[in-house]
Structures are given as C-alpha cells and as structure tokens.
Amino acid sequence: MSTAVSSAAAPAKTVVPGPTGPRRGRHSLLRWLFVLPALVYMTLFFGYPLVRNIVMSFQEYTPRTYFTGEAPFNGLDNWRAVLSNELFADSLWHTAVFTVGSLAGQFTIGLALAVFFSRRFRLSGVIRAVLLLPWLVPMVVSAVVWRRVLDQDHGILNSALQTIGPADGGVPWLSSPSVALLSAILVNIWIGIPFNMVILYGGLQEIPRQLYEAASLDGASPWRAFRSVTLPLLRPVVTVVLVLGFMSTVKILDLILALTSGGPADSTQTLGTVTYQLSFLQLDFGQGAVVGNVLILISAVFAVLYLRANRADFGTGK
Amino acid sequence: MNGEPTTMQRPRRIRMIATATAALVPVTVGLTGCAATPDPGTVTVLNSATDAAEHNANQAFFDRCAKPLGLKVEQISVPADTVASKALRMASSNSLTDILELDGSELPQFAETGGLRPLAEVGLDTSGFSDSATSLGSYDGTQYGVARSVNSLALLYNKDLLRKAGVEPPTTWPELRATAKTLTSGNTYGMAFSASPNADGVYQFLPFFWSGGGDEARLDNGKGEAALTLWKDLLGDRSVSKSVVNWNQQDVNDQFVAGRAAMMINGPWQVPVLSAQDKVDWAVATIPVPEAGQEAIAPIGGTVMAVPKSDDSGREKNAGKILACLNSEKNQLAWGESVNNVPTRASAATSYAEKHPELAPFVDLVATARSRTAEVGTRWPVVNDALAGAFQSVLTGGTGPEQALKNAQRQASAGEK
C-alpha cells in the first residue's frame, strides 16, 4: 500500500517542477480527496463510536434514554461506581493473567509447531491442516465442547487422568475458583495455537536457507542457529502475531460466557464479561461504557507500542 | 485548469470525482435508510421465537386472532437474551413493534421509561388473572404486560430410583437432605440443581431463599442464610455434584435424563424433552419447604406482552385487541398446553390442572408464586447478580452464608440512588 502511494505521488512532483500557487492548492486538494474515503470511513465507523463511547461514560445512559433521547450528564458518577466496584479490580487482574497466560502458551507452542513443520516430512501438510481445526470451529462451539470435556465427574479429561493416576474425585477444572481461570486459559491456548503456528510458519518460509547453511558451516548448533538466525529474522512476524493475539485475547467474551459465565464465584470475570454484564444485563450503558473505555485504552497503548515496533522493524528512511 | 489538460490529469480528475462520490454514497444511504412506515393492517411483534416450531406455533395463534379483525401479524424474532437490546435500538429509531414480548424480569426497566402503554388504556380486561401473573406484568401498581402462561419450578424425581431406595419424594429440607443422601450411589447423585452465576442459577435459588424467609430487598435480613446452608450441606454431603456451579437448567435436565441425578429442580418447559425419552420414569412434586406445614414460595417466570406507546392510537388499539383475543380462556388453555406452561387466567389454570394431572404441582405453585421484580422493580438485574455471587461464593467455599449475604447486600445497594 505504502509503495503504491509513494510511486503515485512521485511522478506528480516531477510533472510539476515549480508548482505555482493555485496549482499546488489543487494538488493538495486532490491528495486530500484520495484520503477522503478512508477518512470518512474511519470517522463514521471508528471515530464516531469511540467518541460516543467516551461521552456515554459520563452520562446516565439507561433504557429511558432510548425512549426519550435524554441522557443527562452525571459527571464522574459512572467512573466512581465502576472503580469502587470490587469486581472491576478483580476482572482487570483476571484479564491480565488470562492475556499473558494465553499469549505465552499460544506463542510458545505455535512457534514450536511452526519450526517442527518447517522441515518437510511425509504427511506434514495433512497434519498441519488438521491442526488448523480449532481455528475453524466457532468459539462458542469449542467452549461448549470443552465444558463437557472438563466436567469434574463425567468429563473425559478427568476420566483419562484417573486411569493414569490416582486423582481422587477428579480435578475441579471449572467448578473451583482457583482452577477455573487456568482452565479458561488452557482452552484459549488450544484455540490460539493454529493462528500462531500459521503466521509463524509463513515467517519461517521467508528466512533464506543459505543463512542456516552458513551458520552450520560456522559450526552453530541447531539451538544456536534458532537463537541467532531464526529469532532475529522472525522478529517482525513475532511482533505481528503477539499484538494481534493480544488484541483478540484482551477483549475475550464469548469463550468465557459459554465456558463459565464468569463463574465460579466471579473467578473468570474479565473486562469483557463485566462490560457485557453492565451494559446488556443490567442495562446501565454508562457504566458499561466506562469498562469499555478502559479496554480501549489498554488496546490503544499496545497499538502504539506495535506501531513503534513496526517502524523500528520495517523503518525505511523515516 | 489553465491550458490544455494533460493526459495524466484527465483520468485522474474523473477518478477523483468518482472517489468523492463513492465516499458520499454511504452517508446519503445512511440518512435515507430509515424504516418504512408499517402497513396499517399489520400488527408487528418482537419476540424470541427463533425456533421454527415455536415461531410457527406463535404465528398460528396470532393468525387465529388477527383474521376475524381483518388484521395481519408479523413476528420479528431474535434470540431471547437480545430482545431487550433489540427493543431499545428500535425505540431509539422510533420503529418499535406494536407488541413487545419481554421476559417478565425485564418489564420494569421498560415500564420505567414511560414508553409502554398501560394495558387498561388499550382496552384489555385483566380481571380473572392469577395474582402472581398480574404482579409479573406490573410496575409501580400499573399493569403494562400480560402473560399468556407462566412457569415455575418444582422437584422432579426419578420414580424407579426412589422406589428402589424405598423413599418418598421429600417435602421438607431435612427430608430433602436425608433422601438425597440415600439416593446418592455410584454414578448417581441424589439431587441436581442449577447454581450457575446467571439468571438460571438465581431462578433455582429463589424457591429455597424465599421459602426460608429471604428477602430480595434486604438480602442480609438474617433469614436468607438457611437456603445457602442447605445448598452447601447438600454439596458437603456429596449429594449433588460440585459441577452445579456451572450447570444451567438445561444441563441439570441432561444429568437427570442420563440417570446421573435421582431428583432435580426444574421447570415445565423440560416436559417435551422428558416425555420424548423413555429411559427415566419421572414425576413432579412441589419444592420442599424448611419445615412441615409451610408453603413453598416459588418464583414465577415467563414472558409478558406489552404495548409500546405509538403516535398512532389505532395501532395501539389493534395491538390491544390481539392481546385480548390471545388471552381468552380458550386460547390461553391451548397455548399453555402447547408450551407446557400454566395459563394465567385462574379458570384456564383449573382446567389445565384437570387435563394434565401430572403437572398439577406446577399449577398449585404458580398460584402462590412470586414475581422476581415485584419488590425491587428495575433493580432486579443488580440483585440477581448479587444473589448469584452469594451462592457461588458459598458453594465454592469462599465465604460463609452470613458473610456472603452481607457482601451481596452491599453489592446490591451500591448503585442505589
């Protein structure tokens, strides 16, 4: 995209060597017109909802608002109510643990599998295709199936564990507050592995074979080659995978709702489920917007970090 | 454009205009894309009948009522948990349907907005309905919603398992605990209920909470602990699975049908599933009470139909006529039979109990049942979450019953203005 823009702009400059006043105005107008569709789109579908959401968090926005159109401003009431709600602090912590845990697991296993499949062997294509399945199954379906798998009494996971070891009564995967978040993380790791594997596999294909040959001629062990060749050259792809993974994990809602509904005893409540609960169950859209804004803020911080990292990786004379 | 336009500039200019036009298209479409005014002879309904069979059954009743009036009824069906938000969106664009079918627990929040027409004003005679049904459709003493039929909860039991163990269905809490213990063996738990942290779990907790003297307006009145203790004891006895904290009411029914629970708390909407299988021979009993001689107080549930205010009073009148017809004794009875719920007209409920003696306990319960919103009105969703938090933390060993209800009361009153 960026190359297309610069090549289109370059001849325009050469055609008009010494731009006179009106001509330059026309050209800058022209450039703005090219930007306009994107600008209109962004304003309508990103800017407007974003601003609305921020404004809403300072309003008493209830079902009444929808009928009367009145949403009186109530200052910091919504923010105060949400921040003093113990559930908010808990959900913030759960979200952090869930995100870090999920990303670490997804990425490590995804990378290991990507490296594994980058060596060609028989049936590697078939197995890779099978590994994609968790990605293709709708999240809610996965969650419902996992709910059965993780059932304390009759789930196959506990049955399997009991046959290999003396697990008395089975692990309370989803019925104990101290284990439920871990279970949710494990399920999310399972869901996220294919995405990580595919993108990282693609990145690995881009690394020239000769570098590995050179490394082995220099006497590098496979681990050394992985650390000194694979990882540095994979860095841009790693950033993309981690940031995209972060974005989709931090706002998690559907998986948790279908798996535990935020329970037991609120142990799997995340910012996503709290927003849902406030906005769509309690119909307090003002307070829901507060949590939504916090979520946006967190995402925005990481989006900025991503852009900076990206500029460092792909930086071209800027 | 002074002088000859170069060949480069012409296509660019065209493209420039094209892009500019393209950018404007969505804006204009957005402005003109408002809903068309509905046909005056059509009454629109927003409900949750997304299931094809349910949708068609509804349509049959609507048609039966609409034809003699020279009207047509059009249903807009969305999943149950999105009806409220869909209705709100419709309200904000002034395109709300003529009839709005909500869950009874959501009615107060809509009535409070002033956007619903009191049913008396659209010519609906609501005398002869059971008190519980009237309270389900009322907010602040005015009736805004009418329920054709309602459901409640009862104790369902596996006849074979009880016979084999030589026990009768329990009627009191001590009996329930003892019976559940006796019935628990091998892969079968004596009892099952839903304690999920959402509306399902709370609905099942209420008959115990209320029968024990609990009060949703004052959760820490010192009487709600009994129900929490009972649930905790059942779990401590290993008479119920630890997984109850994840089970919704459907899961509970699945466990019962699979023979993994000898007794369960559930509602009449499970009857089609239960009747369709022949593995478990089942029967219905009333929910046990703390002590012999007391009366069980069960929650009343179901949807209510309301008439949103419209600029066109003719539309409201038509909606009122349809509602009146749907709630005739004959139609209520037929509807109640088709969905296995209890009709709300006292006379229709009596004939229902006569025709379906196996479901009679539900009919008795519904007469004395209590609406979740009667006392706390629009605050119900907050109380719902607080109660869910209480039984979840007690069942998972986080807090004791007393502390749990104190926390719940704090949570419930935090947003009170």
Contact across the interface for A40 and B26, Cβ inside 8 Å: yes
> What percent of chain B has a predicted confidence (pLDDT) above 90?
76
Position B2 pLDDT exceeds 70: no
Contact across the interface for A37 and B22, Cβ inside 8 Å: yes
B 82-111: CB under 8 A from A: 84-85, 88-89, 91-92, 109-110
What residue spans of A69-170 are helical by DSSP H?
A: 77-83, 86-118, 124-131, 133-136, 139-149, 156-164
Position B192 pLDDT exceeds 50: yes
Two structure tokens written together for B191: 């009892």
In a domain, A23, yes or no: no
Q: What is the pLDDT of residue A166?
A: 66
Shared fold status for B42-150+302-371 and B154-297+375-414: yes
So where are chain B's domains? 42-150+302-371, 154-297+375-414
The Cα–Cα gap between A112 and A196 comes to 10
Confidence band, pLDDT 50/70/90 cuts, at residue B416: low
Two structure tokens written together for B344: 């709300």
How many other C-beta atoms lie within 10 A of the C-beta of residue B291? 12
Contact across the interface for A152 and B16, Cβ inside 8 Å: no
Contacts of A94 (CB under 8 A, 6+ apart): A181, A267, A268, A269, A270
* Number of structural domains in chain A: 1
Position B157 pLDDT exceeds 80: yes
The Cα–Cα gap between A13 and B370 comes to 78
* pLDDT per residue rounded down to tens, chain A (318 residues): 344 444 444 444 444 445 556 667 788 889 999 999 999 999 999 999 999 999 999 999 999 999 988 899 999 999 999 999 989 999 999 999 999 999 999 999 999 999 998 887 888 888 888 888 888 889 889 999 999 999 888 888 888 888 887 666 788 999 999 999 999 999 999 999 999 999 999 999 999 989 999 998 999 898 999 999 999 999 889 988 998 899 899 999 999 999 999 989 999 999 999 999 999 888 999 999 999 999 999 999 988 888 887 777 665 443
Q: Is B181 helix (H, G, I), strand (E, B) or coil?
A: helix
User: Which chain A residues are Cβ-neighbours of B398 within 8 angstroms?
Assistant: 177, 265
Listed residue (B320, B321, B369) closest to B341, CA to CA: B369
Q: What is the pLDDT of residue B28?
A: 39
How many other C-beta atoms lie within 10 A of the C-beta of residue B339? 18
Two structure tokens written together for B317: 């009148």
How many other C-beta atoms lie within 10 A of the C-beta of residue B228? 27
The residue segments making up the domain with residue A277 are 86-314
Q: Which of B46, B188, B246 to mutate to test the interface with A (most CBs of A within 10 A)?
A: B246
Contact B342, B300 (CB under 8 A): no
Q: What is the pLDDT of residue A158?
A: 87
Average pLDDT rounded to a whole number, residues B63-71: 94
Listed residue (A229, A210, A232) closest to A221, CA to CA: A229
The Cα–Cα gap between B383 and B386 comes to 5
Query: Chain-wide mean pLDDT for chain B?
Result: 88
**Token pair 């709005």: residue:** B100
Amino acid at B119: L
Average pLDDT rounded to a whole number, residues B84-95: 92
How many other C-beta atoms lie within 10 A of the C-beta of residue A221? 10
Q: Is B149 helix (H, G, I), strand (E, B) or coil?
A: strand
Phi (first) and psi of residue B72, to 5 degrees = -125, 150
Distance from CA of B280 to the nearest CA of A (A): 19
Note the CATH architecture for domain B154-297+375-414.
3-Layer(aba) Sandwich (3.40)
Q: Does the bond joining A22 to the residue before it have cis omega, within 30 degrees of 0?
A: no
Q: What is the pLDDT of residue A160?
A: 86
Distance from CA of A303 to the nearest CA of B (A): 27
Note the CATH architecture for domain B42-150+302-371.
3-Layer(aba) Sandwich (3.40)
Whole-model pTM: value is: 0.86
The Cα–Cα gap between A199 and A240 comes to 9
What residue spans of B327-359 are helical by DSSP H?
A: 329-339, 346-355
Q: What is the pLDDT of residue A22?
A: 65
In a domain, A194, yes or no: yes
Amino acid at B260: R
pLDDT tens-place string over residues A250-292 = 999 999 999 999 989 999 999 999 999 999 888 999 999 999 9
Burial of A184 (C-beta count, 10 Å sphere; 0-12/13-18/19+): buried
Contacts of A83 (CB under 8 A, 6+ apart): none
Considering only CB atoms, which residues of chain A are within 8 Å of chain B? 11, 15, 30, 33-34, 36-37, 40-41, 44, 62-69, 81, 84-85, 147, 151-154, 172, 174-177, 260-267, 277, 280-284
pLDDT tens-place string over residues B10-59 = 444 444 444 444 444 444 333 433 444 568 889 999 999 998 888 999 99
Q: What is the pLDDT of residue A3?
A: 41
pLDDT tens-place string over residues B264-315 = 999 999 998 999 999 999 999 999 999 999 988 999 999 999 999 998 889 9
Distance from CA of A151 to the nearest CA of B (A): 7
- Smallest Cβ–Cβ distance between A64 and the set B112, B395, B415 belongs to B112
Q: What is the pLDDT of residue B358?
A: 87
Tell me the DSSP string of A58-92: TB---HHHHHH----B-TTHHHHHHHT-HHHHHHH
Distance from CA of A286 to the nearest CA of B (A): 12
Q: What is the pLDDT of residue B22?
A: 45
Contact B132, B370 (CB under 8 A): yes
- Smallest Cβ–Cβ distance between B20 and the set A33, A69, A153 belongs to A33
User: Which chain A residues are Cβ-neighbours of B6 within 8 angstroms?
Assistant: 15
pLDDT tens-place string over residues A224-250 = 999 999 999 998 899 889 988 998 999
Distance from CA of B241 to the nearest CA of A (A): 7
Q: What is the pLDDT of residue A306?
A: 81
Contact A149, A155 (CB under 8 A): yes
